[in-house]
Structure 1
């Protein structure tokens, strides 16, 4: 299954690949070069298809837990001052996505969308310390009665040139359902209450909509 954000790109890529393959087969007479170029074309198509894949996830709804919004690797776990919305200290957990990861962004908790804002910006590498404040990004806050408010921020990277955000204020968010999509590599930051029990470690690989990032302390 492919994500809807990829339909147009996949169609254009198919047309380009077929045209390129016909040109190579027609005009390249050196056998090894023709085979090499055809293999390269097929590999390019496979990369585009895998980037826009949208695998089904088995999300177990739980109001006491925060699930990872994306696939990737945990690169930050630290206490920070969140400047945009909370304007107070929060626990930040950041997940970095490489170009080969699934790039669907999912709601980390269920609840009501109480804040959603897009910020134009730069395209620093996603792990740059200033990327969270200076890169193109979207900030979404979801609130429920059990967990309170959880903020997740999509951040563009050096390759990501378009962030798609579906969250609108007063939307009903369902944990694990699509919140947005980032094209071609980036990261997502989560900002959680200070008394949250973090369930992941640095460099741990996580799956969007399935891996538990944090849960409420009993």
Structure 2
């Protein structure tokens, strides 16, 4: 299934690729081997686009204490923070890098209510760099459930230049594992949780949005 967040981009890209192929067939068919080469490139491009904009179903852990990854990708950083403004104290940041080959649809990590939504214009540093979290173009989304708070960021990278989150607004009640947006063409998603929560992933682990448990809320915390 093609994600609705990228359907128009996918269709426009395919249309342009097919138009190029048709023009080559019409005007440059006399060049030996050119039409075959262009046809192969167009097929490869369409295959890449289908792979990039795919949106597979996911099975989310129903345990309310389990915080799931918002993104597919590779854990590139786990960092202790002395203080996070939204969390309101010490926190842990888990950074997930999304390559162009990963599913790019993002999902909600915890049940709750959206209480923070900010967009920050910024730079386009390589997504795996430490300072990309604060200097790159990004969205910041905060969810609260009782006393529990989770902050996550969609961060544009060197290639990615388009962040979309049409299904998020302040005051909206959201369900863990549901889709809310995507970042187009390579990027990073950070998830920030209180420092007392148990982190269940380590650097270089592979995550699946809506499925991989990245943190656990301690027993007795509500």
TM-score range, shorter chain: over 0.9
User: Counterpart in 1 of 2:196?
Assistant: 195
User: Which moves more between the two structures, 29-38 or 71-80?
Assistant: 29-38
Question: C-alpha separation between the residues in 2 aligned to 1:179 and 1:13?
Answer: 23
Residue 126, structure 1, aligned to residue 127, structure 2 = yes
User: Which moves more between the two structures, 136-145 or 4-13?
Assistant: 4-13
User: Counterpart in 2 of 1:7?
Assistant: 7
Question: C-alpha separation between the residues in 2 aligned to 1:149 and 1:91?
Answer: 12
1:30-49 counterparts in 2 under 5 A?
Answer: 30-49=31-50
User: Counterpart in 1 of 2:136?
Assistant: 135
**Residues 1:90 and 1:121: Cα distance change in structure 2 (over 3 Å):** same
**Residues 1:150 and 1:5: Cα distance change in structure 2 (over 3 Å):** same
User: Counterpart in 1 of 2:218?
Assistant: 217
Q: What count of residue pairs does the alignment treat as equivalent?
A: 217
Question: C-alpha separation between the residues in 2 aligned to 1:84 and 1:158?
Answer: 27
User: Counterpart in 1 of 2:108?
Assistant: 107
**Residues 1:62 and 1:207: Cα distance change in structure 2 (over 3 Å):** same
Question: C-alpha separation between the residues in 2 aligned to 1:91 and 1:77?
Answer: 7
**Runs of 4+ in structure 1 over 4 Å off:** none
User: Counterpart in 2 of 1:55?
Assistant: 56
Whether contact under 8 Å (2:121, 2:137) holds in the other structure is: yes
**Residues 1:106 and 1:82: Cα distance change in structure 2 (over 3 Å):** farther
Q: 1:60-95: per-residue Cα shift (whole Å, max 9, x none)?
A: 322101001000000111211355523532011110
TM-score, structure 2 length as denominator? 0.92
Shift of 1:175: 0.3
Question: C-alpha separation between the residues in 1 aligned to 2:13 and 2:128?
Answer: 29
Question: C-alpha separation between the residues in 1 aligned to 2:206 and 2:36?
Answer: 37
Structure 1: give runs of 5+ residues left out of the alignment. none
Shift of 1:30: 3.9
User: Which moves more between the two structures, 98-107 or 17-26?
Assistant: 17-26
**Residues 1:57 and 1:187: Cα distance change in structure 2 (over 3 Å):** same
Whether contact under 8 Å (2:89, 2:194) holds in the other structure is: no
TM-score, structure 1 length as denominator? 0.93
Whether contact under 8 Å (2:162, 2:184) holds in the other structure is: yes
Whether contact under 8 Å (1:24, 1:38) holds in the other structure is: no
Q: 1:186-218: per-residue Cα shift (whole Å, max 9, x none)?
A: 111111111111111110101000011111234
Q: 1:32-52: per-residue Cα shift (whole Å, max 9, x none)?
A: 332122101111111122111
Question: C-alpha separation between the residues in 2 aligned to 1:66 and 1:111?
Answer: 12
RMSD: 1.6
Whether contact under 8 Å (2:138, 2:155) holds in the other structure is: yes
